[in-house]
């Protein structure tokens, strides 16, 4: 496939060489937006804002549904673009493209079903109601782990709420976002959804530009910079996780394979992936043995893709290399023909690790599970809640009452019982602490991109 090319008529915009994470070899170039590109993108979105806002929810829903249809019609092309930038297996890419289309349709309908709070004759002689109004133009800055899906998570509710969007994809994965912008221009109208390829500097310039809100998904460090630069403007932040999995002695038989599948999906490059398995003394040895066996059945190159880029691969090597784990188990790497130089890393287990181990306290963002042993359930919960991130976690036990109690006590925005990474557009997803603030998915995410206005009229 052809990656986005640098425009020869824009000599001031530098270009980035894109690489294929499966091979490590160059695959094309992409423009890195600077002042002129950022200004043009924001101006186009602002020019389109009034007309897009003026549409009825039903009219916007029809157009967003049209965009979903275009994504579905060109699903094969979207999947290939996703694979070019991420190296995902075909089945993963195709599933995520379908999920992005589903999310567009979900929010197209969800915005029409909104009900305003506190409407009616609430003060004697007066009638009051609440209007939900869009912010205007939203800067959506998304990461490279799920390029199209994360774009849909941010853009779908923002568009449905009546905002226009400037979408900045990650510098290594501009491919599907460029196609989305083409289809958005056809389905939504010019300027309603504009894609701005670029790097960190592009993102900095976009946040500093005349946008009314910033929706950012990425690292905690970058999120802190975004929040500071945004000032008093609305900011929605999803800043990663370091998910615990509390595995009790009576965990169901499917626990081990489910955790192995969840931590290797997308090569573990998911903010909500399980990362830290926490057991009790009586099932610690069993957990290490069963997880080792389950991970050994998951081969990088056959069952999951590579890490996204050289920087991420180097970070993996640094954290895993610095770990003081006394038990290390790594599965096989099985890349395809010509892919040996890609950013492949094996499904790995580290056990007998200290609580301050870098593989425990840092978000590794790869196919890695650590295993820790707690003296009891309360200590296990303390370990689970003992890192700065608080995005998602899971509990594994056949005792429903115990499992629900522990899930409720996890410091996380999303908790699973006897499963992990089970998500649907109807259910909210959001972080706490160092994992950010804000809500993705569900009708609640519409509140991220709208603000209420109370209107009260005197009747006499």
What is the rounded CA–CA span in Å between residue 427 and residue 429?
A: 7
- Output the CA torsion sign for 48, 67, 446, 408: negative
Beta strands at 450-458 and 126-134: parallel, antiparallel or unpaired: antiparallel
Beta strands at 327-330 and 234-238: parallel, antiparallel or unpaired: unpaired
Residue 275's pLDDT is 97
Residue 209's pLDDT is 98
Beta pairing partners, 327: 351
Count of C-beta atoms within a 10 Å radius of residue 424: 12
Mean pLDDT of 142-147: 97
What is the rounded CA–CA span in Å between residue 391 and residue 274?
A: 11
Cβ(143)–Cβ(172) below 8 Å: no
Residue 4's pLDDT is 45
Tokens encoding 210 = 């005349």
Asked whether the predicted pLDDT for residue 8 surpasses 70, the reply is no
What is the rounded CA–CA span in Å between residue 359 and residue 224?
A: 22
Model pLDDT for residues 229-283, shown as the tens digit of each residue: 999 999 999 998 999 999 999 999 999 999 999 999 999 999 999 999 999 999 9
* 119 confidence band (pLDDT: 50, 70, 90): confident
- Output the CA torsion sign for 152, 156, 158, 163: positive
Model pLDDT for residues 315-344, shown as the tens digit of each residue: 999 999 999 999 999 999 999 999 999 999
Q: Which of 5-9, 88-92, 145-149, 164-168 has the lowest mean pLDDT?
A: 5-9
Beta pairing partners, 407: none
Q: Comparing C-alpha atoms, which of 6, 135, 14, 1 is closest to residue 452? A: 135
Active site residues per annotation: 238, 271
- Provide the 3-class DSSP secondary structure of residue 402: helix
What is the rounded CA–CA span in Å between residue 345 and residue 129?
A: 56
Q: Say which residue, 154 or 124, is predicted with more confidence.
A: 154
- Provide the 3-class DSSP secondary structure of residue 140: strand
Beta pairing partners, 372: 278
Cβ(155)–Cβ(34) below 8 Å: no
Asked whether the predicted pLDDT for residue 101 surpasses 80, the reply is yes
Q: Comparing C-alpha atoms, which of 100, 60, 88 is closest to residue 303? A: 88
Give Cβ neighbours of residue 54 (< 8 Å, ≥ 6 apart).
Answer: none
Q: Say which residue, 221 or 259, is predicted with more confidence.
A: 259
Q: Comparing C-alpha atoms, which of 203, 197, 141, 140 is closest to residue 15? A: 197
What is the rounded CA–CA span in Å between residue 251 and residue 59?
A: 49
* 116 confidence band (pLDDT: 50, 70, 90): low
Mean pLDDT of 428-441: 93
Residue 2's pLDDT is 44
Q: Comparing C-alpha atoms, which of 209, 264, 201 is closest to residue 233? A: 209
- Provide the 3-class DSSP secondary structure of residue 13: coil
Count of C-beta atoms within a 10 Å radius of residue 452: 12
* 206 confidence band (pLDDT: 50, 70, 90): very high
Tokens encoding 399 = 């005792």
Rg (CA), the chain: 23
Cβ(240)–Cβ(363) below 8 Å: yes
Model pLDDT for residues 40-65, shown as the tens digit of each residue: 999 999 999 999 999 999 999 999 99
* CA distance readout (Å), 74 to 67, 71, 191, 246, 362: 11, 5, 21, 41, 38
What is the rounded CA–CA span in Å between residue 158 and residue 137?
A: 9
- Provide the 3-class DSSP secondary structure of residue 183: helix
pTM listed for this prediction? 0.93
Alpha helices in 55-199 (DSSP H): 57-73, 75-86, 90-110, 147-160, 175-187
Beta pairing partners, 277: 245, 371
- Provide the 3-class DSSP secondary structure of residue 375: coil
């Amino acid at each position: 496939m052809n990656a986005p090319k640098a425009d020869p008529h824009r000599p001031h915009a530098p270009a980035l060489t894109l690489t294929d994470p499966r091979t490590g070899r160059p695959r094309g170039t992409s423009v890195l937006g600077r002042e002129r590109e950022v200004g043009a993108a924001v101006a186009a979105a602002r020019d389109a804002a009034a007309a897009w806002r003026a549409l009825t929810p039903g009219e916007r829903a029809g157009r967003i549904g049209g965009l979903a249809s275009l994504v579905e019609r060109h699903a094969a092309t979207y999947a290939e673009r996703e694979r070019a930038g991420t190296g995902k297996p075909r089945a993963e890419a195709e599933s995520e493209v379908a999920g992005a289309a589903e999310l567009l349709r979900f929010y197209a309908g969800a915005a029409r079903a909104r009900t305003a709070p506190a409407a009616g004759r609430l003060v004697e002689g007066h009638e009051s109601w609440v209007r939900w109004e869009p912010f205007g133009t939203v800067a959506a800055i998304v990461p490279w782990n799920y390029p199209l899906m994360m774009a849909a998570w941010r853009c779908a509710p923002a568009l449905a709420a009546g905002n226009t969007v400037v979408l900045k994809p990650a510098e290594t994965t501009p491919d599907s976002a460029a196609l989305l912008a083409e289809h958005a221009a056809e389905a939504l109208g010019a300027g309603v959804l504009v894609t701005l390829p670029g790097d960190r500097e592009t993102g900095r310039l976009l946040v500093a530009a005349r946008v009314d809100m910033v929706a950012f998904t990425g690292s905690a460090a970058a999120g802190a910079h975004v929040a500071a630069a945004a000032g008093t403007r609305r900011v929605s932040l999803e800043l990663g996780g370091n998910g615990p999995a509390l595995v009790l002695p009576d965990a169901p038989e499917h626990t081990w394979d489910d955790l192995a599948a969840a931590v290797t999906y997308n090569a573990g490059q998911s903010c909500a992936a399980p990362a830290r398995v926490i057991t009790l003394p009586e099932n610690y040895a069993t957990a290490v043995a069963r997880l080792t066996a389950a991970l050994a059945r998951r081969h990088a190159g056959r069952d999951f893709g590579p890490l996204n880029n050289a920087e991420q691969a180097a970070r993996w090597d640094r954290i895993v290399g610095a770990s003081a784990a006394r038990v290390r188990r790594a599965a096989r790497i099985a890349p395809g023909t010509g892919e040996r130089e890609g950013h492949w890393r094996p499904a790995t287990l580290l056990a007998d690790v200290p609580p301050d181990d870098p593989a425990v306290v840092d978000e590794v963002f790869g196919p890695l599970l650590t295993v820790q042993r707690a003296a009891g359930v309360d200590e296990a919960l303390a370990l689970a809640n003992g890192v700065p991130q608080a995005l998602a976690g899971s509990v594994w036990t056949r005792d429903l009452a115990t499992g629900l109690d522990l899930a409720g006590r996890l410091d996380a925005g999303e908790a699973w019982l006897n499963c992990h990474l089970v998500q649907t557009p109807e259910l909210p997803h959001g972080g706490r602490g160092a994992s950010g603030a804000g809500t993705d998915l569900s009708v609640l995410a519409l509140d991220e991109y709208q603000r209420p206005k109370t209107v009260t009229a005197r009747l006499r």
